[in-house]
Amino acid sequence: MAVDGDTDRTLSVDSRGRLWGLHATLFEAGLFGATLFGIVSLCILFGYIAFDAFQPLTASIRWYLLIAGTLILPTAAGTLYARRQPAVRAANAKAFGVVGGALVAALCTYIVVDALSPYDVALVLLFGGYLPAVFTLLVRRTNRTTQLGPTAILSVGGGLAIAHGGYDLLRPIVGTAAQWIAYFAIVTLPVAFGLWIVGRRRWTRQTARRAVLAVIVSVLLLVVLALGLGIDPSFWVVLLSVGAIPVAVVIGEIVVLDPAGRLGAAGPFVLIGCLSVFLAVERQLGLEGPDGYLTTTLLLESWHGLDASSAGVYPQIVGSIVIVGVMGVLAFPVGIGAALYLEEYAQRSGWRGRVATLLEVNISNLAGVPSVVYGLLGLALFRNALGFPTGIVLSAAGTLGLLILPIVVVSAQEALRSVPDSLREAAVGMGASRWQTLRTVVLPEALPGMLTGTILALARAIGETAPLVIIAVATTKYSPPDGILSSATVLPLQIFAARSNVDPAFRHGIVPAAAVVLLVLLLLMNTTAIVVRNRFDRRSQQ
Amino acid sequence: MSNQESTQTVHETAETSERPESIQTPRAPAIEAHDLSVTYGSETALESVDIQIPDRQITAIIGPSGCGKSTFLRCINRMNDRIDAAAVSGALSFKGRNIYDEHVDPVALRRRIGMVFQHPNPFPKSIYDNVAYGLRIQGITSEIDARVKLALERAALYEEVSDSLEKSALDLSGGQQQRLCIARAIAVDPDVLLMDEPASALDPIATAKIEDLIAELSEEYTVVIVTHNMQQAARISDRTAVFLTGGELVEYDDTETIFENPEHDRVEDYITGKFG
Amino acid sequence: MSSEPNADRESLQRNDTVVRTERLYGWAIAASALLTILVTVGIVLALLGEALTFWSAVSPLSFFTGTKWSPIIDGEYGLLPLVSGTLIVTVGSALIALPTGLAAALYLSEYASERTRSVLKPALEILAGVPTVIYGYMALVYITPLFQGILPVSIRLIPPGLEPLPAFTLVIPSLQTFNVLSASIVVGIMIIPMVSSISEDALRSVPDELRAAAYGLGSTKYDVSTKVVVPAATSGIVASFVLALSRAIGETMAVTMAMGMSPQLPYFPNVFRNLAESSQTMTGAMVQIASADSLGGVTYEAMFALGLTLFLITLSMNVAAELVRRRFREVYQ
């Protein structure tokens, strides 16, 4: 307790207090430094990789000046301008999102379908999708009492069974059509259908009908043009359907409906324009860019163990995409189902409650099991028990699918929990059964969150290597997989296999470049997940 | 004969029988409870409730907070089924049928009894889709447009939203959302409309609109309304039930009698504000 | 949606087919949930099956206490070198990750503004998102050469001539191509987010009243953070440590690529030799056996025995961490 005379002394900041102040500042600085430590270290390591992959020192200064002038300055100017106008910024983000996403989607679709053979995909789609859909609709028209769900599922199953059983007969028939027709059936028809569904809700029925017609006509015109020029229309059909049409729809909507943000929609096209200017000037002045290893050869060719300049990772890229896709198809329904059970069906009291708790504890334990152990599970299940051949897409996708299952379940649970209970009460009060409540109210609300969680889980799986090594997936293959039962390899395995190659063109060239490709794939998936989540946040605020 | 036509015929009949009071025939009660008790584990929420709720009148349920008003309301459409720990004993019948009978499907029951909640809870869909929801889940596909319009008119909301039915229901104000929830509930032509403090989350102007609306609704539907606002109960209801702490139904009579000349001292204390 | 003409409004029942179909959906959903239990059952069966066969050929005692691991060449199945390798990597990565992660968590929870936090927190999560092969590659190709340039280093701690103290020079040997240090560093970086994220949650859960009380008594921010908040969140922080260590023990690709495949027993007294030379972890040994790819035989079964050991170790650590965490959650709720 301070006496009056002491007050002056204890309240003022003396030298010891100042030292203490310094101590505190150092402490905070230390904490801040620790926070940055990992990030900075990773940046440095990434810097090494980028340096080796892109070889930036091999380009001249004039080349960099050209980049600064034609690409960086306009982008910076545009960003500064957009910062002041939120409508422009939003429209710009939307435009870039749709252009980037559509291009990536188009490329991935083409790559995967090309690897799996477009005729096979068309066959599966025809018998497993279109015919069952038509059948279900017909049944619904004639007999109003049938339940759509079981009818649809049974007809899909039946269709696929027919396709599988009659494959030898049906495949040659399908194969007589020109390849672009197969692509048309695979991409253009679903896109047109999707456009009709979306358009019916957002615009008038008439506009939607006209839009669908425009899609089909434009694609057919493109085919005619391509055939006239003597080039195979397949790739362009995909690019137009999956790439250009969504872009046209979204940009069109912005231009028509959002006068304030119109300028923002021009963003990606301005960028493309700048890029063209850059390339033209580059060629004109004869400037050469860096002699990096991230070339088209890397992206389109297959591996070469000795000659770095002809080594590529195309089969690995396709393999990664296909395995991740199959993994998603396997893990998503099971994960969602388990989450639905835990959140919506399971009781919390009594013995059933204990079972539910056991399930949840089990899932959280599974999430912490090392990935190698999942490899052993995959080995025992797919190679020993089921007798699948070594390293096929199905085994790899199944093993990794089991690995990500706990993550999918937990994130789906969180998405379901975020749906307010008041909505469920409203639906139940209206006389909706539990399944109806889920289907009409809960799942539509929770779906974006579930998708985000699944995509993030898939993004993690695309870099997983250990389980695949255990189930003996081949480290190098020279052709992409052509079916679920064909053997495949993935990008991280190739990096692992090439680690002991001491040729500098590989060690400080091709392999870092392959690592960059893997990181780019990862970045694309994470961006997709974030975009899905943000659109969900915006939608629920409307 | 479509649903709409048959409903109108029934209501015409009811109106002719309602007008001359002297030849008013006693109508069967819409809802009857006999020795109804609800416990949550060791807690008693409702204690041996006996009540007969008349058809096509407004019955108000009042009482201090925690006295089981909402619990009783939720027994009527078996919403308490959703709570694992709730144990219901006694009998509760709707239109003469015991709703806790094992052959009764609570989902089917709730399609005949509508509920409006304290906080407006429209679905994150369009206004039209909200009102049409109940019709669609019952598999009704014809004349949805007409029924949606009728429900919105009856809920005194149609004029305000008629040109923006496709807009999201979440864009409406609180009062409008609650009227939308009422429209949603009545679109399926329920026999009974349960309302759990429907205006307590709204501002006074919106509350007044809702109260007017409820008075009109009682011409077509049996309304049971839980409210903590005694003046509201006195204004709009025909009959009033007073629950007091412990889930006990202490007194149930015509509204005038309850508010001017209650039988029990405890009820009088509650109404004059000595507690609660 | 199908209509239900058989639904009778008076009967308070629904169309039988509808009810039955919906019950079917319920069963399908329950089956999905059951599948998750089957995964665990599958893991246990898969591991036990082969591991037990292994332990009938190689005695568990010699497995758990043997000091030589050389399955392919010599048929020796002693676990201790692998345990040593795993332990050294884990301890090394813990030395990096635990203090750093806790410091980061403290900074983010107590010091950082919302804006800073919204940038740094996702940035830290990136550390956990990088594929482990890439970490392994970076360790092998960039970190090792970097350190090889600095080491060997000898520091004269106690110079001669100071009798009776013996002369003592600290010698950090040169780094081999495959070494434990680089592996420890990348695994440490990799698990920082686990420590920081869970610890931060624990720190944030400490009720503000505690902080207010401490400030009211005249404490500085440093006092509050280190003497009030951190101790209050101890169980959450400990849980994060245990989980991160469990993750480090289970790490495979980064350690295999950086450390190589030479299982060793720990060196004594020159402790630094353990970091400078190659070794092998349990996970690395499993990968090595799998790469040799012989379906069957004692070596193949050994892989499952290793897997079972690893599974049990990480499972018990995770369960312990969860119990600790649950205890801290109960305290505040």
pLDDT digits (tens, 9 = 90+) for C212-251: 999 898 888 888 888 889 998 998 999 999 999 999 999 9
pLDDT tens track, chain A, 542 positions: 445 555 555 566 666 667 777 888 889 999 999 999 999 999 999 999 999 998 888 888 888 888 888 888 888 888 888 788 888 888 888 888 888 889 999 999 998 898 888 888 898 888 988 999 888 888 888 876 667 778 888 889 999 888 888 888 888 888 888 888 889 989 999 998 888 888 877 777 888 888 889 889 999 999 999 888 888 888 889 999 898 888 888 888 888 887 877 888 888 888 888 989 888 888 888 888 888 888 888 888 888 878 878 888 999 999 999 999 999 999 999 999 999 999 998 887 778 888 899 999 999 999 999 999 999 999 999 988 888 888 899 999 999 999 999 999 999 999 999 999 999 999 999 999 999 999 999 999 999 999 999 999 999 999 999 999 999 888 888 888 888 888 899 999 999 999 888 888 888 989 999 999 999 999 999 988 988 887 766 555 44
Distance CA A71, CA A192 (A): 35
Question: Is pLDDT larger for residue C102 or for residue C271?
Answer: C102
Instruction: Kindly report which listed range (A526-540, B55-69, C315-329) carries the lowest average pLDDT score.
Output: A526-540
Q: CB distance A422–B110 less than 8 Å? A: no
The alpha carbon of residue C28 is apart from the nearest alpha carbon of chain B, in Å, by 21
Q: CB distance A347–B168 less than 8 Å? A: no
A425 has a chain B CB within 8 A of its CB:
yes
Tell me what the pLDDT averaged over chain C comes to. Answer: 87
The three-state secondary structure class of A319 is: helix
Q: CB distance B122–A427 less than 8 Å? A: no
CA A357, A358, A359, A361: dihedral to nearest 10 degrees? 90
Confidence label for B3 from pLDDT (cuts 50, 70 and 90): very low
Identify which of B21-35, C86-100, C284-298 has the greatest average pLDDT. Answer: C86-100
Question: CA dist B19 to B8, B14, C134, Å?
Answer: 17, 9, 85
Mean pLDDT over B61-70 rounds to: 88
Contact A495, A515 (CB under 8 A): yes
- pLDDT higher than threshold 50 for residue B77: yes
Q: A426: nearest CA in chain B?
A: B121
Q: B115: nearest CA in chain A?
A: A429
A366 has a chain C CB within 8 A of its CB:
yes
Q: Which residue(s) pair with B226 in the sheet?
A: B61, B196
Contacts of B105 in chain C (CB under 8 A): 12-14, 19
Distance CA A480, CA A112 (A): 9
Helix (H) or strand (E) holding A24: helix A15-54
Give tens-digit pLDDT for B134-175: 999 888 888 899 999 999 998 889 999 988 888 889 999 989
Distance CA C174, CA A331 (A): 47
| pTM listed for this prediction | 0.88
Interface of C with A in 128-157 (CB under 8 A): 129-134, 136-138, 140-143
Give tens-digit pLDDT for C165-175: 777 777 778 88
Bond prior to C269 in cis (omega within 30° of 0): yes
Contacts of C3 in chain B (CB under 8 A): 138-141
Instruction: Select from C1, C35, C116, C141 the residue whose CB has the most chain A CBs within 10 Å, as the one to mutate to test that interface.
Output: C141
Question: CA dist A241 to A102, A187, B216, C301, Å?
Answer: 9, 6, 55, 52
Encoded amino acid at B153, one letter:
E
Select the residue of B109, B136, B139 nearest C12 (Cβ to Cβ): B109
One-letter-per-residue 3-state SS of A37-70: HHHHHHHHHHHHHHHHHHCHHHCCHHHHHHHHHH
The conformation of residue C14, written as its DSSP 8-state character, comes to -
Considering Cα of A164, then A167, then A169, then A173, what sign does the dihedral take? positive
The burial class, CB within 10 Å (0-12 / 13-18 / 19+), for A409 is: buried
Contact B143, B174 (CB under 8 A): no
B208 has a chain C CB within 8 A of its CB:
no
The predicted pLDDT at position C2 comes to: 41
The predicted pLDDT at position A37 comes to: 94
Contacts of B136 in chain C (CB under 8 A): 1
Contacts of A207 in chain B (CB under 8 A): none
Q: C124: nearest CA in chain A?
A: A39
Specify the CATH superfamily of domain B3-122+189-271.
P-loop containing nucleotide triphosphate hydrolases (3.40.50.300)
The predicted pLDDT at position C332 comes to: 55
- What percent of chain B clears pLDDT 90, i.e. is strictly above it? 36
Contacts of A427 in chain B (CB under 8 A): 123, 133
Q: CB distance A495–C140 less than 8 Å? A: no
Tokens of A371: 């990935």
Question: Is pLDDT larger for residue C24 or for residue A145?
Answer: C24
Question: Is pLDDT larger for residue C68 or for residue A10?
Answer: C68
List chains touching B (3+ CB pairs under 8 A).
Answer: A, C
- pLDDT higher than threshold 60 for residue B10: no
The ranges assigned to domains in chain C are 15-57, 63-328
Q: What are phi and psi of B158, to 5 degrees?
A: -60, -45
Contacts of C11 in chain B (CB under 8 A): 108
CB pairs under 8 A between B and C: 35
Select the residue of A24, A146, A345 nearest C29 (Cβ to Cβ): A345
Give tens-digit pLDDT for B121-131: 999 999 999 99
Interface of A with C in 294-323 (CB under 8 A): none
Distance CA B18, CA A132 (A): 56
Q: What angle do CA A438, A443, A449 make, to 5 degrees?
A: 150
Residues belonging to chain B with any Cβ–Cβ distance to chain A shorter than 8 Å:
77, 79, 82, 84-85, 107-112, 114-115, 117, 119, 121-124, 133-134, 136-138, 168, 170-171, 181, 184-185, 188
Give tens-digit pLDDT for C180-213: 999 999 999 999 999 999 999 999 989 999 899 9
Mean pLDDT over C307-320 rounds to: 94
The alpha carbon of residue B221 is apart from the nearest alpha carbon of chain C, in Å, by 16
Mark out the alpha helices in A341-392 (DSSP H runs): 350-367, 371-378
A232 has a chain B CB within 8 A of its CB:
no
> Taking Cα atoms as reference points, which of A425, A447, A446, A422 lies closest to residue A434?
A425
Tokens of A291: 């002699």
Q: How far is CA A413 from the centre of its chain?
A: 21
- pLDDT higher than threshold 60 for residue B97: yes
List chains touching C (3+ CB pairs under 8 A).
Answer: A, B
Distance CA C25, CA C34 (A): 14
A466: Cβ contacts below 8 Å, ≥ 6 apart:
A370, A371, A372, A375, C132, C252, C253, C283, C287
Tokens of C112: 């950082």
Question: CA dist A290 to A52, A60, A61, A75, C141, Å?
Answer: 11, 8, 10, 21, 22
The predicted pLDDT at position A117 comes to: 85
One-letter-per-residue 3-state SS of C271-320: CHHHHHCCCCCHHHHHHHHHHHCCCCCHHHHHHHHHHHHHHHHHHHHHHH
Q: What angle do CA B135, B141, B146 make, to 5 degrees?
A: 70
The ranges assigned to domains in chain B are 3-122+189-271
Interface of A with B in 107-126 (CB under 8 A): none
The predicted pLDDT at position C139 comes to: 94
Distance CA A139, CA A38 (A): 60
Contacts of C253 in chain A (CB under 8 A): 465-466, 469, 492, 496
Specify the CATH superfamily of domain C63-328.
MetI-like (1.10.3720.10)
Mean pLDDT over C130-154 rounds to: 90
Bond prior to A492 in cis (omega within 30° of 0): no
The predicted pLDDT at position C8 comes to: 53
Q: C244: nearest CA in chain A?
A: A368
Contact A98, A254 (CB under 8 A): no
C326: Cβ contacts below 8 Å, ≥ 6 apart:
none
Select the residue of B105, B109, B139 nearest C2 (Cβ to Cβ): B139
B96 has a chain C CB within 8 A of its CB:
no
Crossing angle of helices A167-175 and A118-125, in 10° steps, is: 120
Select the residue of A349, A428, A539 nearest B110 (Cβ to Cβ): A428
Q: CB distance A429–B119 less than 8 Å? A: no
B8: Cβ contacts below 8 Å, ≥ 6 apart:
none
Distance CA C291, CA A243 (A): 41
Distance CA A96, CA B73 (A): 53
Interface of C with A in 213-272 (CB under 8 A): 220-222, 243, 246-247, 249-253, 257
Contacts of A347 in chain B (CB under 8 A): 84
The predicted pLDDT at position A495 comes to: 93
Instruction: Kindly report which listed range (A128-137, A139-148, B212-221, C258-267) carries the lowest average pLDDT score.
Output: A139-148
By residue count, chain B amounts to 276
Contacts of B110 in chain A (CB under 8 A): 428-431
A355 has a chain B CB within 8 A of its CB:
no
Helix (H) or strand (E) holding C60: helix C60-65
Distance CA A379, CA A387 (A): 10
